């Protein structure tokens, strides 16, 4: 997509601190890192949402994430990582090109667990839970 910043990095039209590349995926440092080593893993082609990815591209993306997590942790001597994505604008996705965040974490760094992304916690009845379970299962 012509006006997409991650497409431009993938095409090497603009500079990115690229740390790994596969046939379908690219990993580079986040320009505004939440922690040293904050890395983004993206498909080279433009897809907005996770469920837009063809199976082969998705498999390559998650394999790349899996491979990079220990490398990123080792590179910055992290104690742990948060790995996740904002999948859609309502979830906070600002760049509409699929990207997985690898955020290194350090003991006492003052950050939050991934549970902090939710809004007010719902108080769900057993019936509502039954409906949700069935809806996802189908």
Residue 87 lies near ligand 5GP (rule: CB under 6 A): no
E strands, 1-138, in order: 18-21, 25-29, 39-43, 80-84, 100-105
Is the CB of 22 or the CB of 93 nearer to ligand 5GP? Answer: 93
Q: Which does 74 bind (CB under 5 to 8 A by kind): Zn ion, ligand 5GP, none?
A: none
114, 115, 116, 119: which is closest to 102 by C-alpha?
114
Residues with active-site annotation: 99
What are the C-alpha distances in Å from 108 to residues 34, 71, 79, 114? 14, 21, 10, 16
Q: Which does 94 bind (CB under 5 to 8 A by kind): ligand 5GP, Zn ion, none?
A: ligand 5GP
Which one of 54, 88, 92, 112 is in contact with ligand 5GP (CB under 6 A)?
A: 92
Q: Which does 117 bind (CB under 5 to 8 A by kind): ligand 5GP, Zn ion, none?
A: none
Is the C-alpha dihedral spanning 30, 35, 37, 38 positive or negative? negative
Which one of 45, 46, 86, 109 is in contact with ligand 5GP (CB under 6 A)?
A: 86
Q: Are 19 and 33 in contact (CB under 8 A)?
A: no
Q: Footprint of ligand 5GP on residues 93-112 (CB under 6 A)?
A: 93-95
What are the C-alpha distances in Å from 95 to residues 16, 51, 78, 88, 89? 15, 16, 26, 9, 9
Q: Which does 1 bind (CB under 5 to 8 A by kind): ligand 5GP, Zn ion, none?
A: Zn ion
Residue 3 lies near ligand 5GP (rule: CB under 6 A): no
**Binding residues for ligand 5GP, per CB under 6 A?**
5, 16, 28-32, 86, 92-95
């Amino acid at each position: 997509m012509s006006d997409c910043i991650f497409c431009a990095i993938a095409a090497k039209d603009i500079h990115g601190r690229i740390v790994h590349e596969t046939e379908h995926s690219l990993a580079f440092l986040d320009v505004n890192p939440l922690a040293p080593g904050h890395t983004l893993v993206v498909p080279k082609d433009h897809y907005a949402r996770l469920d837009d990815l063809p199976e082969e591209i998705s498999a390559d993306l998650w394999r790349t994430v899996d491979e990079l997590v220990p490398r990123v942790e080792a590179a910055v001597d992290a104690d742990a990582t948060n790995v996740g994505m904002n999948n859609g604008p309502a979830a906070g996705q600002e760049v509409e090109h699929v990207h997985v965040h690898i955020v290194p974490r350090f003991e006492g760094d003052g950050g939050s667990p991934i549970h902090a992304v939710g809004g007010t916690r719902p108080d769900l009845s057993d019936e509502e839970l039954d409906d949700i379970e069935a809806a996802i299962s189908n």
